[in-house]
A and B are shown apart, each in its own frame.
Chain A
Amino acid sequence: MALKIRKRDEPWKWGALVIFLGALLFSLGVSCLLLAGQGKDALHGMFILWEGSFGNLWALEGALLKAIPLFLCSLGVAVAFRMQIWNIGAEGQFALGAIGATWMALSFPGLPWYGLMPLMFAMAFLLGGAWAFIPAVLKLKLRVNEIISTLMLNYIAILLLDYLVFGVWKDPTSFGFPMTPEFTSGAVIAGIGSSRVHWGLLFCAVVGVGLWAFMRFTRLGFELKASGEGARVARYAKIRYGLLTMFVMGLSGGFAGWAGCIETSAVLNRLQPSLMVGYGYTAIVVAWLARLEPLNIAFGAFLLAALRVGVENLQLELQIPAAFGVIMEGMILLTVLAGQFFLTYRIERAPREGGE
């Protein structure tokens, strides 16, 4: 029986969801094989993964906690990807945001929270945005490939963070550990009620709604959506492509910077290298899985955050290396990409000879 590839006349309505679930299932299947390869009981492992992700309130809190930085980074990535600007630098922009926030927290330790927090968030946005602004300018003025420049800036940002916490910002009372002194209470984002989840969650909601309103109601937001087709189309539509690129990259980096600020302030209460756990890269996975839609990103961030928490449980209970989670992320993304073929094409039985 001969098969034939045909372009779909109408979009496949629930296709994206079906493909995502299929990819998830496939990746879980392969993960089972990986576990079995390590000599573990795969089904038991899957159960522990599930328990660790969604099994109890503690797990759900943990997932929400990790979803906060993921959501902000991913929102930033998506804004840039929409314009086909490949900002792979969320990780570095996240680090710069954390550095900016720490700078303020260490400079004005006496301020109350309503004085210090705005300073920290502003500086985090500024530095994170500036870190993304460099590749934007290089791309516009010199046509330097932004994929590589943003990525190189990730490595540089992490080393800069190391330089600061091993050097000038090192806490003299930390017994040689690379970390800054603990933040004063004005620089720490508090938990909501008695839960582990902090007010950063509310901030995420505000940013999410704000971005949606911006895209919906402002001219710049409209141009942003319209220029997704690339520079040439944008120029036909008299869209200010250069301005937009710089704006989008600044915004993108600023969001990641905020994520860094929140994570340092609320979770670690200080700057230290363990801050960098790859949220910036996971954010790319989330953004693409969510098809760059803000609401989907919220779900996606929660899901991949839950996966991270589940893998931590797996690590604890079965001594599975943490890289297990990274493998799953990569695999899900790759499978979804392959599956997206079926969004535009369908496979049909070829008509018999003379049937056409």
Chain B
Amino acid sequence: MLMWEFIIPLMAAAVQSGTPILYATLGEMMTEKGGVLNLGVEGIMAVAALAAFVTSFATGSPWLAFLAGGTAGLAFASLHAFVCITCLGNQVVSGLALTILGLGVSTFLGVPYVGLAAPGFDPFAFPLLSSIPVLGDIFFRQDMLVYISFVIPFFFWFFFRRTSLGLHVAATGEMPAAAAAAGLKPVALRYFAVLTGGFLIGLGGAYLSLAYTHLWTNGLSGGRGWIAVALVIFAFWRPGRAVIGAYLFGGVMAFQLRLQAMGTHIPSSLLLMLPYLLTILVLILSAWRGRRIDAPAALGTNIEPEA
């Protein structure tokens, strides 16, 4: 009874609300693998969510909108790449500036769209797989963007383990000087990491306005970008653990919404704290495991030009 009426729908909802976080976490992981810390995730997601919404609103094509979200993320992340990689600006402060700018831009340009709806992605039962008991109900009655997000971690793993470009990107994240000495181009590789990372983060933002809601409201990102930054640490820079982390957060968000909908006596402001408290808790737990060594060694440091 409880199982079918509460737990399975909750887990399915966890996958859905975890999906934007998963895209963003993988995007940030990609960026950090190349040695660049991007704290602009929250701002990038907000801008991408708006770009996707406006595109869908104007063209009626959700697919084009999804792509537009990714492209907007890439374009916005390129600002961070330029400031940090080319101008050697402080990565922490640049990321914060990007978040401020992104939240501002999305609110400013989003004014005429507040409360409007646009076509997006709807859940459908995936042929065959959705008839698997329990798992099918949780994972395969989702929208298309969720299915896409299932395969990205595998690509991610394959990219860093099996392709030379992936190895080169990881090398610039570990020891840019050595990578340069070995004939690689650390600057170009870092640009690649930040831009593809921005694209993935942008897809996460697009998910928010195209599938999570089909509406435009202010503050759609709601701290998910920051959660993604925390999850990269939690995941020890590994895509598999990012999936677990993202669904964990999706679960807490879904659980909290359900409790509110059921009319609990706990004030909503206290329930809304849960994901943020969990973020801190998750960081404490991952610190306990003491796996800081998994962080790219050159993360956060800029590459000085030869002079």
Contact = CB atoms under 8 A, between A and B. Distances in A.
B100 interface: yes
The majority secondary structure among interface residues of chain B is: helix
Interface string B30-60: 0000000001000100000000000000000
Given A5-B305, A142-B287, A151 B269 contact: no
B253 to A, nearest CB: 13
A330 B87 contact: no
Interface stretch (B15-23, B66-74, B174-182, B276-284): B276-284
Given A148-B229, A152-B276, A326 B103 contact: yes
A164 to B, nearest CB: 9
Interface in B275-303: 276-277, 279-280, 283-284, 287-288, 292
A143 interface: yes
A326 B276 contact: no
Contacts of B83: 334, 337-338
B161 to A, nearest CB: 26
A108 interface: no
Given A88-B96, A285-B97, A337-B93, A156 B267 contact: no
A137 to B, nearest CB: 11
Given A159-B270, A166-B267, A340-B89, A152 B100 contact: no
Contacts of A159: 269-270, 272-273, 276
Given A86-B92, A327-B108, A148 B230 contact: yes
Q: Which 8 A-B pairs have the closest CB atoms?
A: A330-B101, A326-B104, A337-B89, A330-B100, A323-B107, A327-B104, A323-B108, A333-B97
Interface of B: 39, 43, 79, 82-83, 86-90, 92-94, 96-105, 107-108, 111, 223, 226, 229-230, 233, 267, 269-270, 272-273, 276-277, 279-280, 283-284, 287-288, 292, 305, 307
18 contacts: A7-B307, A34-B108, A138-B280, A138-B284, A142-B288, A143-B292, A144-B284, A145-B283, A148-B226, A155-B273, A284-B93, A326-B101, A330-B98, A333-B93, A333-B96, A334-B101, A337-B93, A341-B87
